[in-house]
Amino acid sequence: RSDLEDLHLYATPREQRFRRFASLEFEGQLYMTPYDFIQAVTNDEPKRAKKWRSLSKQELNQILMETPPVWKGSSKLFRNLNEKGVISYTEYLFLLCILTKPHAGFRIAFNMFDTDGNEMVDKKEFLVLQEIFRKKNEKRERKGDEEKRAMLRLQLYGYHTSTNSVLKTEGEDLVPRSYWDTLRRSTSQALFSDLAERADDTTSSLSDTTLLVHFFGKKGKAELNFEDFYRFMDNLQTEVLEIEFLSYSNGMNTISEEDFAHILLRYTNVENTSSYLENMRCRIPEEKGITFDEFRSFFQFLNNLEDFTIAMQMYNFASRSIGQDEFKRAVYVATGVKLSPHLVNTVFKIFDVDRDDQLSYKEFIGIMKDRLNRGFR
């Protein structure tokens, strides 16, 4: 166990977080439960000290037998499954990608998996994901104890790999890319490389997971269509937002403007959050509250932040402050999301530090990019 704890030193921050929240182990590989995943994206630290519980083959099979099919999905799927599910490290990365993407991106993601263009994704196509994320991860590994890094790869991916086996491309750049960018670039090349064949080799010995059974059935023969894929992604985004909202609402239909500010400023690099909160308290003395619909619409806007940034640059506001009407119009033009006047006013009262009813575009975008990525930027 001390050797395993030692591996934390060789892990990236994202790998460290997965290892910290994961609670299950099967044949040397670590897994999260659905409960663990929800905790990992809504809390700074696990609620209880984690000791990896070893699953028997029988226990794993029982968990997978109770996994509902994709057409029975809902925005309470992860909460209903709770501890009865297994999520691999690769799937954890995939789910994090989905949480920060606009709905328009779901079609792009589906088309990337659909390598044969038949409007359906099968299990083999989806498992290319394992190889893509593993490939990216090995490029980023720091030099060090080869034995320790091999142990870490076994924990995260379920098999031993050698960095010498990583596919190389001519003139490959070393610029750090997000997992989403890696996924987008790699899957578009999947038909023209041996990624799919290699995925066959490396995943044939891996165990099924809750996500694989949910998408492709207990026998792995079902195919996933876009409507079911879209609904799963939308449900996941909604579920995480519901959990965050309910943690502050205390059973009410609204959360306070101050609570909304707390949620916005979590996972950001803002050091002195108290000044933002005090600024808002003074300027919104009477609490009206933020509804869940308003809350959700704001985070839908955040998932479209790149398009909003482009719109602001086209409006030539990039180097100056903007007013509420300009902000609201730019959000709608860029994302199709209509923010309520009260929500826009609340956002301005939080971030308008010099109180001129103008928003510093650059400062706002920087803070929101951190919040969008939940500290994983």
Whether residue 204 is found in the same domain as residue 311: no
Whether residue 267 is found in the same domain as residue 202: no
Whether residue 199 is found in the same domain as residue 290: no
Q: What angle do CA 373, 309, 355 make, to 5 degrees?
A: 90
Whether residue 156 is found in the same domain as residue 67: yes
| Measured distance CA(321)–CA(363) in Å, rounded | 10
The model's confidence at residue 362, banded by pLDDT at 50, 70 and 90, is confident
Q: Which of 249-258, 306-315, 347-356, 359-368 has the highest mean predicted lDDT (pLDDT)?
A: 249-258
**Predicted pLDDT at 45:** 84
Share of residues in the chain with pLDDT > 90 (%): 33
Whether residue 212 is found in the same domain as residue 276: no
Domain annotation covers residue 167: no
Q: 270 or 81: whose pLDDT is higher?
A: 81
Strand (E) positions, the chain?
24-26, 29-31, 53-54, 120-121, 224-225, 254-255, 290-291, 321-322, 359-360
φ/ψ of 359, rounded to 5, equals -110, 130
E strand or H helix that includes residue 351: helix 341-351
Q: 10 or 182: whose pLDDT is higher?
A: 10
Q: Burial, 129: exposed, middle or buried (Cβ in 10 Å; 0-12, 13-18, 19+)?
A: buried
Domain annotation covers residue 247: no
φ/ψ of 31, rounded to 5, equals -140, 150
Whether residue 150 is found in the same domain as residue 284: no
Give me the amino acid identity at 324. Q
Whether residue 216 is found in the same domain as residue 316: no
- Asked if 330 and 315 touch (Cβ cutoff 8 Å), the reply is yes
Rg (CA), the chain: 22
The DSSP code for 70 is G
The model's confidence at residue 250, banded by pLDDT at 50, 70 and 90, is confident
Q: Which of 2-16, 54-68, 158-172, 361-375 has the highest mean predicted lDDT (pLDDT)?
A: 54-68
Domain annotation covers residue 15: yes
The model's confidence at residue 82, banded by pLDDT at 50, 70 and 90, is very high
φ/ψ of 9, rounded to 5, equals -70, -25
| Measured distance CA(121)–CA(125) in Å, rounded | 6
Domain annotation covers residue 170: no
Q: Using CA atoms of 99, 370, 180, 109 in order, give the dihedral in degrees to the nearest 10.
A: 30
- Asked if 324 and 350 touch (Cβ cutoff 8 Å), the reply is no
Whether residue 83 is found in the same domain as residue 156: yes
The string over 64-99, giving b where at least 16 C-beta atoms fall within 10 Å of a residue's C-beta and e elsewhere, is beebeebeebebebbeebeeebbbbbbbbbbbbbbb
Query: Tokens at residue 299, please?
Result: 């985070």
Nearest to 78 by CA among 299, 238, 227, 254: 238
The model's confidence at residue 172, banded by pLDDT at 50, 70 and 90, is very low
Is it the case that residue 171 has pLDDT exceeding 60?
no
Domain annotation covers residue 246: no
Q: 168 or 17: whose pLDDT is higher?
A: 17
**Predicted pLDDT at 165:** 39
Domain annotation covers residue 242: no
Whether residue 9 is found in the same domain as residue 136: yes
Whether residue 325 is found in the same domain as residue 210: no
Is it the case that residue 278 has pLDDT exceeding 90?
no
Whether residue 309 is found in the same domain as residue 181: no
SS3 sequence of 196-226 = HHHHHHHHCCCCCCHHHHHHHCCCCCCCEEH
Domain annotation covers residue 168: no
Residues 6+ apart with CB under 8 A from 12: 137, 140
Whether residue 71 is found in the same domain as residue 97: yes
**Domain region containing 42:** 1-161+175-237
Domain annotation covers residue 63: yes
292-302 vs 324-335: helix crossing angle, rounded to 10: 70
Q: 251 or 37: whose pLDDT is higher?
A: 37
- Count of domains for the chain: 2
Say how far residue 154 (Cα) sits from the centre of its chain.
23
